[in-house]
Amino acid sequence: MPFKPPENPKCPKCGKSVYAAEERLAGGQKWHKTCFKCGLCNKMLDSTNCSEHEGELFCKVCHARKFGPKGYGFGGGAGCLSMDTGAHLQNPEGDSGGASSTSAHIRPNTTSIPGKDGEGCPRCGGAVFAAELMLAKGRNWHKACFKCKTCNKSLDSTTHNDGPDRDIYCKVCYGKQFGPKGYGFGQGAGILQSDDSMSNGEQYLSNKPQLITDTTSIMAKEGEGCPRCGGSVYAAEEVLARARSWHRKCFNCRECKKTLDSINACDAPDNDIYCRTCYAKKYGPKGYGYACGSGFLLTDILPNEENDTQRPSYVSDTSKIKAAPGEGCPRCGGAVFAAEQMLARNSIWHKKCFSCADCRRPLDSVLACDGPDKEIYCKGCYGKKFGPKGYGYGYSPTLVSVGESSAPAHISDGRPNADGLKAPEGEGCPRCGIAVFAAEQMLCKGRVWHRRCFFCGECRRTLDSTNLNDAPDGDIYCKSCYGRKFGPKGVGYGIGAGTLQMTS
């Protein structure tokens, strides 16, 4: 018995068999996937937007247009008039096999109902109803006519531009036809726009005045124009710098021609403008510490010979400009200006001179120590020269015994009763009477002590702010010695409870 294949359902649209891999269900029938589209607009459908009518498939919009109610209130929105039956979307008669070819979109005839004189659409003259109304400059347009006159791009209220010829354009075509021409008016700043070959608008461009791009062609009065070219500066191209008006085209660095703005422009002594780099090279300080980072040497001078001859020479010798007695730098005696001053002990120093008197190490406000000889030292040199000597005063517990050749004559050793620079009565150290400087001072009860003198008056134990005791005799003691000397006596006040303490 010969093999007989099973009967497959036929597609209502093309009449061919439908297999399981490509079937779509709608209205109790099976369709091909490629045939499952609207019978009017050929839009591809799915199970959510298809509507079936007498074996034909439609999208919801076309189904309502062809078979839905007609009249006022049934258009695109409430209050609109819809009399469209979709006849312009029907497939041409005589198509073989019932297969629909791609429908050509036919533009609706907006001139079939002419409008009153002066009230119709400005482009086609037809009457404009509320369902298709678009407004521009107080005039009513059809939605189908509301497009650019040049490129026919559809427009809306945010993209249309009213032209001087009472028509509408997109922004691009409006700029090409009626916008300014020249440098800076192209697609981006700095681009040259000189396109005047528009097919629609040649008459307007022929009557349009020629744009002048040369900034020096219109000269200004003396002292009122652009400082660089001397031309008149108008508001559309004005850039301000130092209360003067510049052309945007001229507002660039004098040396490297880099375009500037209000943030990176530097006014120079020659009444011109520079970028920060060229300004620093031409007028900035030279020497150690003034290059890209601290510690670099900048000796770059611009190769322009004219600028080199006009540039004032840099004076590196700080003592060339002498100051009044008592007002200059304590080390070199030269005048100190604000750009290079450093403060120490109510005196003003050059930044170049503000270094240790012994090792010449550069100092700052944290590292500097004022010495009794009115000089400044680093902490290491100050300790070696003026600090206490002996066991425990070096890098603990080393012995520092610097010879007399490096120690000053007024401090011979580290003992408290050594001869030194005596202070006025009541101002020096209470123990030795020698003047106390900031690097070695210790405070106790409103009095200033040397660090080397800050020890117990009985056992010579070194004290600090946590274990000292002020005694009635004006000296300081540790807690044990203070208790033995000034504490209560009797039973219960000895080493342990019940012990008799009578030590005086």
| pLDDT on residue 286 | 73
Name, of 166-180, 196-210, 377-391, the range with top average pLDDT.
166-180
- Contact of 357 with 343, CB cutoff 8 Å: no
Each residue's pLDDT tens digit, 420-478: 677 888 788 888 888 888 888 888 878 888 888 999 988 988 898 888 888 888 899 99
Q: In this structure, which CATH number among 2.10.110.10, 3.40.920.10, 3.60.150.10, 2.60.40.10 belongs to the domain 1-91?
A: 2.10.110.10
Structure tokens at 338: 């604000």
- Kindly tell me if the per-residue pLDDT of 44 is higher than 60: yes
Q: What is the dihedral of CA 435, 439, 442, 443, to 10 degrees?
A: 80
More confident residue, 372 or 95: 372
- Contact of 449 with 442, CB cutoff 8 Å: yes
Structure tokens at 118: 């002066």
Separation CA 504–CA 472 (nearest Å): 15
Averaged pLDDT of the chain: 76
Banded model confidence at residue 315, pLDDT cuts 50, 70, 90 = low
CA-closest candidate to residue 389, choices 379, 399, 380: 399
Structure tokens at 343: 């403060």
User: Which one-letter amino acid corresponds to residue 262?
Assistant: S
Q: Which helix H or strand E contains 342, and what residues bound it?
A: strand 341-344
| pLDDT on residue 59 | 92
Strand partners, 82: 71
Each residue's pLDDT tens digit, 407-435: 444 444 444 444 567 788 878 888 888 88
| pLDDT on residue 131 | 82
Separation CA 35–CA 22 (nearest Å): 10
The lowest-confidence range among 82-86, 281-285, 366-370 is 82-86
Separation CA 27–CA 16 (nearest Å): 18
Structure tokens at 171: 């922004």
Alpha carbon distance, N-terminus to C-terminus of the chain: 140
Each residue's pLDDT tens digit, 83-104: 666 665 554 433 433 334 334 4
| pLDDT on residue 139 | 86
- Residue ranges per domain, the chain? 1-91
Name, of 240-244, 299-303, 490-494, the range with top average pLDDT.
240-244
Residues 401, 402, 405, 408, CA torsion sign: negative
| pLDDT on residue 214 | 73
- Kindly tell me if the per-residue pLDDT of 256 is higher than 90: yes
pLDDT over 90, % of the chain:
12
More confident residue, 338 or 208: 338
Cβ within 8 Å of residue 334, ≥6 positions away? 317, 318, 319, 320, 321, 322, 323, 328, 350
Q: Which helix H or strand E contains 50, and what residues bound it?
A: strand 50-53
User: Which one-letter amino acid corresponds to residue 265?
Assistant: A
- Kindly tell me if the per-residue pLDDT of 312 is higher than 70: no
Separation CA 131–CA 82 (nearest Å): 9
Banded model confidence at residue 168, pLDDT cuts 50, 70, 90 = very high
Q: Which helix H or strand E contains 245, and what residues bound it?
A: strand 244-247
Q: Is the pTM of this model over 0.75?
A: no
> Which three-class secondary structure state does DSSP give residue 126?
strand
Separation CA 42–CA 424 (nearest Å): 112
